[in-house]
Amino acid sequence: MFAKILIANRGEIACRVICTARKMGVRTVAVYSDADAKALHVKMADEAVSIGSSPVGESYLRGDKIVAAALATGAEAIHPGYGFLSENPDFVDLVVAAGLTFIGPSAASIRAMGLKDAAKRLMEKAGVPVVPGYHGEAQEIVLLASKAREIGYPVLIKARAGGGGKGMRRVEHPEHFSEALSGARREAKAAFGDDRVLVEKYVDKPRHIEVQVFGDNFGNAVHLYERDCSAQRRHQKVIEEAPAPGMTPALRKAMTEAAVKAAKAISYSGAGTIEFIVDASQGLKADRFWFMEMNTRLQVEHPVTEMVTGTDLVEWQLRVAAGEKLPKTQSEITLSGHAFEARIYAEDAAKGFLPATGTLHHLAFPDNAPEGASMRIETGVRAGDAISPFYDPMIAKLVVHAKDRQAALDALGTALSQTEIAGSTVNTAFLAALAADADFSAGDVDTGLIGRHQEALTAVALPRSEIVAAAALAAAGAGALPPSNDPWSSLAGYAHFHSVARRTRLRHGEDDILARVSVRPDGRFEVALDAPYDSVNSHDLRAALRLARWPGHVTVFEGAVGYSFLVPDPLARTDEAAAASGSLRAPMPGLVKLVRAAKGERVIKGQPLLILEAMKMEHTIAASHDGVIAEIATEGAQVTDGTVLVRFVEEAA
């Protein structure tokens, strides 16, 4: 076995590989870009090497820098993870030429499956069923249009070098073919540098079912059963499960045999996935599935296979790459129970799944698995980490396993409802809605399910009055946040004749909300809200709403939904007088918690400069005008009311 390996990746997959390597006694080397200098995978590894600036083209896609890092640290092998260079045969050649081991298939195997058209021709020769279509080299529009007519509409135009839905167009009628082809070619050229396409029959009710295969360097190949990845948005997977719902013994036998045949056809070694498209319009039948493509790497969704087969696929990868035979024979690999994986992303589902950024000011996953289930949280981030615009915005993979599909689905819903994330827009509410969808719950899923139900799945109801009241109480500083998360029962003080209401403003989306918080004679709070909300007494909040306070905001969690409220800070002095004085002063005594700018830095009006902690809350001090910083307070400094926090360079007259 290797003594030390380098992981040519980042985020959750790098952390995942490190966990198995540590269990096996293998030391690890992480690589990182400037944006990832303090990332979790860097902290977890035994060693870490900087490989460049934040853009992937200057760091994680620089195979030369990665190989140099491996040689410099004495690593014997490189694990590519998924994405980045994991399916780049030129990188494999570079690794091998340096005398290192690539933990994955050979460059020849990757090349054989790297182009969809060539791979399908190879599979046809191997006797693996392939979707009816044109997979040839000729690319003249007249020929492609003629082939589309022969295949029969609707057809699917697909980039031969692509994936992730890029360079893909569905065409319903012949008159739309030319325009669709032009669009697919432009997109394919931009994404993959290759505008060649193939044309295939469009399957009316497609299921995306894939088979996990594994080979070694002794000619052995096995399958670890199937996964269903049909729940997709924009051709990208959202929730995966194993085994596939509705799978019949006949189809499983035919599909797994075809997958192993495909792996053996290219003398495959390591972890791989054979992806099939299945026509589910008349149920799952053994003669209605076709090879789509092969992923010559570990898949994002590999944990569901591990859960139902009791295997560690990363351990298998390391053992096979180190020259060992497969740890198990086909007869020793069995199925047990059902597993789901939900991909938690920083994205706005209601806005077409637009990727989001932000700092994860609050990040909390369930402490324990739901009753009757087991659970894994696969993540590469911690509370306080930022979601960078440079990389995929995945926050975590939530994986559950139980005795059957319904029990596993219930566990998934429970775990999502107990997940709390604040600081960025996330998709937990969408995932919970999908898990509860009637068709998905029944296993009646195909790749068009999310598209058909998207409006309902992404709709989030307006916050209830109790949720707004909880946010107002937190914003008003009514009680601390003890471990019980129940600030609503604490006393707020004494008023001799009557309570004086404290006015608090909140903003939720486009709505400005005025709340008036006062203390009742019994010591509880009353929150008066303007229409359309109702006034709320604090004892009405005993349903244990969970909340998180973060700079300038309060997020209240109800189930899998996080309602975030902006809290305008009345104490931040950014008025004209402050601007004229050329300095910013502390509005109250407090602790300088975080400094976000430096001496000599040019800043713009409204830019956050530092965070002042006072009254158990954090207040953002922002630039009152454009300018250059002459002096700024240091982190950890205790300041009094009126202390100068920031002084600007005086502008020349």
Question: Which residues are designated catalytic?
Answer: 297
Strand pairing of 546-550 and 553-558? antiparallel
Using CA atoms of 375, 381, 383, 385 in order, give the dihedral in degrees to the nearest 10: -170
398, 376, 407, 242: which is closest to 308 by C-alpha? 242
SS (H, E, C) 210-252: EEEEEECCCCCEEEEEEEEEEEEECCEEEEEEECCCCCCHHHH
Beta strands in 243-306 (DSSP E): 270-279, 289-295
3-state secondary structure 488-554: HHCCCCCCCCCCCCEEEEEEECCEEEEEEEEECCCCCEEEEECCCCCCEEHHHHCCCCEEEEECCEE
Mind spelling out the 3-state secondary structure of 66-116? HHHHHHHHCCCEEECCCCCCCCCHHHHHHHHHCCCEECCCCHHHHHHHHCH
Whole-number Å distance between alpha carbons of 601 and 603: 6
State the CB neighbour count (10 A cutoff) for residue 648: 21
Q: Count, in order, helices (H) and strands (E) of the chain.
A: 17, 38
Strand pairing category for 358-359 and 386-387? antiparallel
Nearest Cα neighbor of 454 from 429, 440, 434, 438 is 434
* β-pairing verdict for 525-529 and 270-279: unpaired
Query: Tokens 């092969």 belong to which residue?
Result: 294
Quick count: other Cβ atoms within 10 Å of Cβ 302?
A: 28
Element (H, E) at 397: strand 394-402
- Strand arrangement of the beta sheet that strand 155-159 belongs to: 133-134, 197-201, 155-159, 168-171
Three-point CA angle 20, 25, 27, nearest 5°: 85
- Amino acid identity for residue 11 in this structure: G
Nearest to 633 by CA among 602, 600, 597: 597
CA angle 522, 523, 525 (to 5 degrees): 110
Cα 386 to the center of its chain, rounded Å:
13
Contact (Cβ atoms closer than 8 angstroms) between residue 527 and residue 494: no
For 482, residues 6+ apart whose C-beta sits below 8 A from its C-beta are none
Computed on alpha carbons and rounded to an integer, the radius of gyration of the chain in Å comes to 28
First to last CA, the chain: 71
286 phi and psi angles, rounded to 5 deg: -70, -15
Structure tokens at 453: 């139900």
Cα(153)–Cα(170) distance, integer angstroms: 9
Q: Measuring CA to CA, which residue among 214, 225, 291 is closest to residue 252?
A: 225
Q: What is the DSSP string of 608-631?
A: EEEEEEETTEEEEEE-SSSEEEEE
